[in-house]
Chains A and B, each alone.
Chain A
Amino acid sequence: MILPKYSEFCGRVKTLSGASALEAIPGELKKMNSKKALIITDKGVESAGLIKIVKEAISKKGSKLTVGAIYDETPPDSDYKVVNSVASIYRNKNCDSIIAVGGGSVLDTAKGVNILVSLGGDNVLAYSGAGAVKQRLKPLVAVPTTAGTGSEMTLVAVIADHDRHIKMTFVSYFLLPDIAVLDPRMTKTLPASITAFTGMDAMTHAIEAYFCLGKNPMSDTTAFKAIQLVSKNILNAVKNPGDMESRLAMANAAALAGIAFSNSMVGLVHNLGHATGAVCHVPHGVCMSIYLPYGMEYNLHKVGDLIGELLYPLAGPEIFAKTPKKQRPRATIDYVRGLNEELKKATGGRHATALKDILDREGKQMVPRDAIPVIAKNAMGDGAKTYNPEEQSFDDNIMVIEAAWEGKPLDLKKIKKGPKNQKF
């Protein structure tokens, strides 16, 4: 076990988890003096019938909570203009809390709206960067509808400025939601392939958190449990979408992984994943599941022991005990590759395991070979690189992306290796 000389951890989101967790929202909001909530969501969530479930759950007998307005036009890529206009809806309807129902973009939008309605002003970009938000905001309830991003547990919001083609990051502990609601009804209708790649996003958060530079005993604990839950439940959630127990387990896993990575940070997998997403518009989770084994291989010489420890939560005690210590790091990586293969089978081939095989809705290849240098360049400007144990140069990025494009394991001999004594 690694005990850093100094570390910080903060995971203060109250979590409601269970088959009727939604029904507990009015009571929780009452404790925070809130009577009128603004619901923020998107068209997909609305048309899947989830808002109806939420509305019914929070207006059961005895509930004093009213819904001031429902905003359901959050775009797939959160936008600052949207944030600004949703803030004026909140003000016009005299709301006093926010319930965000959706995935990453909805959560990001809600966090941005909360900054504006709590601190004043009419442009959220005035608060961008780290440290601009220095006080408590209005009550925010996060209801994730995918089990993956973990943004219900994170202090970050990413909001795009589409005119200038940039993404602005907002970081503050006050952006942490007050309440996270993990209710399996919210993920029950998620299609198989989305369940698979969002689940692997959560897995990536936990695995990277376990070996990236900010790790500490508390992030380790949450990461460990998250890996166990994903590994035990992801295939079942994909094959039997209506299995509420698996859905609840996956929701818990995503939240735990969110706590882990927002305290320990992530590395190469997210670094290259962000870049691939930015250049080729591939969904985040798809990039994660493909790059994950490469992230482990790339750092093997520095944190192989830690990667070996992960065989326990991934494969269970029997396999862990049967595998000699020296072989565990390799076995962990093989296990993750195997899991990706099984997910590919279970989704009828839609869960891609190589960049070249990612197809869009029309069946067109999303990552052409000549995009590789563009992705490698883009990744140089992404922050996740800081927390990766090994250094990443442009040439290193090319090597990893090329291998991931083909779907071939990394040639370990080609990795430029720094000294083994990794400090945490």
Chain B
Amino acid sequence: MNIDKYPELKPGKKYIKRYYVAIMLWIVGRAIQAACRLDKEVIKEFSELPEKFTFSLGVLPDGPFMIIGKDDKGRAKYMGWNKGRTRFPLEMNIKSLEAAIKVFTFQEGTATAFARERFIVDGDLGYALAVVRVLNIIEVYLLPKIITKLAVKRYPRWSEFSPLRKWVNRILIYIRAFTF
């Protein structure tokens, strides 16, 4: 029997969408690293995670991914995109590239995406929630209000997110996320 007559089906390549999501993941990863040196809340969230904690955020079945770990000082460190076969204590994956596009074009906020079960979480749910809270803060920093408003339940008021803190940190996060 010629086994090659029955080819294995692999998911299509979808280059543009993959590149888009890969770039977004890179930006978010670098921004988390930057915010963990500037934003009180992000610093606090990370300080409460266990030592040497690492998590990956990515898209199934085969990427792209982004890996964040805690460095010796307990701060977030962007650790690249190559997940290989490593298993992390927390892995949060979006089920498909199509769903990832919805999330990263901000048509779906994180809460809605969770409610629609777009994410598969492998690992401790408490840690997953901490990561979600960090992602929500990052969203406010990275995106203009008009877009963030679509993705969050309620845009933080000035009192919750002081303008000074927002603008100063926003500029610094931009600079640090995009410079090597």
Q: Is A bound to B? A: yes
A residues whose Cβ falls under 8 Å from a Cβ of B:
4-8, 128-132, 169, 171, 212-214, 265, 381, 383, 386-387, 389-391, 393, 416-419, 423-424
Q: A130-B122, A131-B122 are in contact. Are A386 and B129 (CB under 8 A)?
A: yes
**Interchain CB contact under 8 A, B124 and A132:** no
| Residues on B with beta carbons closer than 8 Å to the beta carbon of A169 | 124-126
Please report the C-alpha to C-alpha distance between residue A419 and residue B109 in the assembled complex, in whole angstroms: 13
Question: Which one of B116, B132, B153, B155 contacts A214 once the chains associate, using CB atoms below 8 Å?
Answer: B116
Q: Which residues of A contact B116 (CB under 8 A)?
A: 4-8, 214
Question: Which of B121, B124, B153 gathers the greatest number of chain A CB atoms within 10 Å?
Answer: B153
A393 to B41, alpha carbons, bound, how many Å? 13
Residues 108-127 of B at the A interface (beta carbon under 8 Å): 108-109, 111-112, 114-118, 120-126
Within 8 Å CB of A8, what residues of B? 116-117
Please tell me which one of the listed residues A130, A131, A213, A393 contacts residue B112 in the complex, with CB atoms under 8 A apart.
Answer: A213
State A4–B124 Cα separation when bound (angstroms).
Answer: 28
Query: Considering the chains assembled together, what is the distance between the CA atoms of A292 and B94 in angstroms?
Result: 33
Shortest CB-to-CB span from A255 to chain B, Å, is 22
Which A residues are in CB contact (< 8 Å) with B14? none
A-B contacts counted at CB < 8 A amount to 73
In the complex, what residues of B have CB within 8 A of residue A129's CB?
A: 121-125
Looking at chain B's contact residues, the main secondary structure is mixed
A131 and B123: CB pair below 8 A? yes
* Contact partners of A418 in chain B: CB under 8 A: 152-155
Dominant secondary structure at the A interface: loop
A417 to B126, CA, bound (A): 27
CB contact between B120 and one of A7, A131, A387 (< 8 Å): that residue: A131
A20 to B2, CA, bound (A): 58
The answer to whether the Cβ of B160 comes within 8 Å of any Cβ in the partner chain is: yes
From residue 85 to 123 of chain B, which have CB atoms closer than 8 A to chain A? Answer: 99, 108-109, 111-112, 114-118, 120-123
The interface residues of chain B lying within 8 Å CB-to-CB of A417 are 154
Most buried by A among B116, B123, B149: B116
> How long is the Cα–Cα vector from A423 to B111 in the complex, in angstroms?
10
Chain B residue at minimal CB-CB distance from A264: B115
- How far is B127's CA from A169's CA once the two chains are assembled, in angstroms? 12
Query: How many whole Å from A381's CB to the nearest CB in chain B?
Result: 7
Most chain B beta carbons < 10 A, residue from A213, A381, A416: A213
- Extra contacts, 9 of them, besides A131-B121, A393-B160 (Cβ < 8 A), are A7-B116, A131-B122, A132-B122, A169-B125, A213-B114, A213-B115, A214-B115, A383-B125, A386-B132
How distant is the Cα of A129 from the Cα of B120 in the complex, in angstroms? 12
> Does B5 belong to the interface (CB within 8 Å)?
no
Asked if B13 is at the interface of the complex by the 8 Å CB criterion, the answer is no
Q: Which residue of the partner chain A has the closest CB to B91?
A: A131
Q: Does A213 lie within 8 Å of B122, measured CB to CB?
A: no
**B124 x A389 contact (CB < 8 A):** no
A213-B115, A391-B154, A424-B112 known; A419+B149 contact, CB < 8 A: yes
* The one of A381, A423, A424 that contacts B129, using a Cβ cutoff of 8 Å: A381
Which residues of chain B have a CB within 8 Å of any CB of chain A? 99, 108-109, 111-112, 114-118, 120-126, 128-129, 132, 149, 152-155, 157, 160
Query: What residues of chain A lie closer than 8 Å to B115, measured between beta carbons?
Result: 212-214, 265, 386-387, 424
A171:B125 contact, CB within 8 angstroms? yes
CB distance from A300 to the nearest CB of B (A): 14
Looking at the assembled complex, report how far the CB atom of A259 sits from the nearest CB atom of chain B, in whole angstroms: 16
Q: List 7 A-B contacts (CB under 8 A).
A: A128-B124, A129-B122, A214-B115, A214-B117, A383-B129, A386-B115, A418-B152
Residues in B whose Cβ lies below 8 Å from that of A213: 111-112, 114-115
Contact residues in A for B153 (Cβ distance below 8 Å): 389-391, 418
| Cα(A304)–Cα(B76), bound, Å | 41
- Give Cα A8–Cα B99 distance, bound, in whole angstroms: 14
B107 to chain A, nearest CB (A): 9
Chain A residues with CB under 8 A of B154: 390-391, 416-419
CA–CA, A8 and B155, complex, Å: 28
Per CB-CB distance, the 10 closest pairs between chain A and chain B, nearest first, are A418-B154, A213-B115, A131-B122, A214-B115, A391-B154, A391-B153, A130-B121, A8-B117, A129-B123, A129-B124
For residue A130, which residues in chain B have a CB less than 8 angstroms away from its CB?
Answer: 120-123, 125, 128
On whether A386 and B114 interact (CB within 8 A), knowing A391-B153, A416-B157, A418-B154, the answer reads: yes
Question: With A and B bound together, what is the CA distance between A5 and B149 in angstroms?
Answer: 20
In Å, the complex CA distance between A150 and B35 comes to 41
Complex alpha-carbon distance, A213 and B112, angstroms = 6
How many Å lie between the Cα of A326 and that of B158 in the bound state? 33
Give bound CA distance, A416 to B159, whole Å. 12
Docked Cα-Cα span, A128 to B90, in Å, equals 12
Chain A nearest CB, measured from B3 CB (Å): 28
Q: How far is the CA of A318 from the CA of B128 in the complex (A)?
A: 46
Min CB distance B166 to A, Å, is 16
A257 to B155, CA, bound (A): 32
A116 to B116, alpha carbons, bound, how many Å?
A: 30
Question: What's the nearest-Cβ distance from chain B to residue A366, in Å?
Answer: 25
Contacting residues, chain B, for A391 (C-beta < 8 A): 152-154
